[in-house]
Amino acid sequence: MNHQPFGRFIDMAVASGTPLPPGTFTITPEENRRLAGVLGADPEDTTAHPLWAYVATQRGIGIGVADLCALADFDVADGPMLGSVDMELRAPLAVGVEYRVTGEVLSIVRKEGRKTGPFDIMTYRERLLDGDGAEVVSTTNTFILPRRAA
Amino acid sequence: MTPEAGAALGPWVVESVSPAAMADFAEVLADPNPIHLDPEAVKAMGLGDRVVNQGPANFGYVLEMLKAAVPGATVVDLRVRLQANVFGGDRVIAAGVVESVADGEHGTRILNCAVWLDVDGGARAIAGTASLILSQNP
């Protein structure tokens, strides 16, 4: 039966819950200004932009996008696409503060679209923790990984 | 003053998405993907002949729209789907609507909003929801 409305979990190098290598990240004043400039925001605003919730987790986790894709046996050169982002900000982000960054793979699910052909949806969560270990930010992201039809 | 349910948010407009800003954001993101930097790479991927804006910049515009629409509010939750590409030179419009308003802790108000980013004359690039906390003025 080809109808798979919810996709199916597939056997990959990683299992659900596999932790990602931790790291650290500090938002610098210079990079905060650059980010504001990219978005057309006030470059004199010294508060950390909320988009750092995504950027800091993505950069701070101890694994690059290419290696993250490799966990799903996917070559980053084949064009992963960011499909969705859920960001929860439990406290204001701060410039000049070192955050610990942790995360884990939540799932890798195979789907097939009539037009797109087969693709995998890789869902992973990353978070920023302050010096006391309290969660400041949690992001849950999905990458869409197009698979060439066999 | 707290917006009421049904209040429109935005529009907040980028008249022309800048390839130079994409190059800058590529460094901030530490993302060297050439589709954000080199039109030839975009052609090779069959995506057209203009550089592709980074997805996080697209929902960053939505955050800027919220900041302008509800001054003093703090975004506590943003959930977005990235539905279409935005290309260099595109005019994009971020907007939203307040769907509900509720009482929060310590006299705050919580605004639950639908948000989006449209390419002028094109597709909806971002669609999702946002929750903001707004302190009440005494």
Which 3 state secondary structure label does DSSP give A111? strand
Distance CA A24, CA A56 (A): 9
Q: Where are the domains of chain A?
A: 8-146
Please tell me the CATH superfamily of domain A8-146, with its number.
Answer: Hotdog Thioesterase (3.10.129.10)
Cβ-based contacts of B69 with chain A (< 8 Å): none
State the residue for tokens 């407009």: B13
- Smallest CA–CA distance, residue A109 to chain B, in Å, is 17
Q: Tell me how far apart the alpha carbons of residues B86 and B60 are, in angstroms, rounded to a whole number.
A: 13
- Inside any domain, residue B90: yes
Is B59 within 8 Å of A51 when comparing Cβ atoms?
yes
Q: What is the identity of the amino acid at B22? A: M
Task: Give the model's confidence band at A7: pLDDT under 50 very low, under 70 low, under 90 confident, else very high.
Answer: low
User: Any CB–CB contact under 8 A between A125 and chain B?
Assistant: no
Q: Is A25 left (phi over 0), alpha (psi -120 to 50) or beta?
A: beta
Nearest residue in A to B19, CA atom:
A38
Q: Determine the structural domain holding residue B91 and report its residue range.
A: 8-134
CATH code, domain with B30: 3.10.129.10
pTM of the model: 0.92
CA dist., res. B104 & res. A13, Å (int): 43
- Contact yes or no for A41 and B67 at CB 8 A: yes
> Structurally, how many domains does chain B consist of?
1
Residues A87 and B119: their CA atoms lie apart, in Å, by: 23
A contacts of B28 (beta carbons < 8 Å)? 31, 34-35, 38, 55
- B1 inside domain: no
Put simply, the answer to whether A86 touches B24 (Cβ < 8 Å) is no
Q: What is the pLDDT of residues A83-111, one digit of tens each?
A: 999 999 999 999 999 999 999 999 999 99
Per-residue pLDDT of chain B (138 residues), as tens digits, is: 788 999 999 999 999 999 999 999 999 999 888 899 999 999 988 889 999 999 999 999 999 999 999 999 999 999 999 999 999 999 999 999 999 999 999 899 999 999 999 999 999 999 999 999 998 754
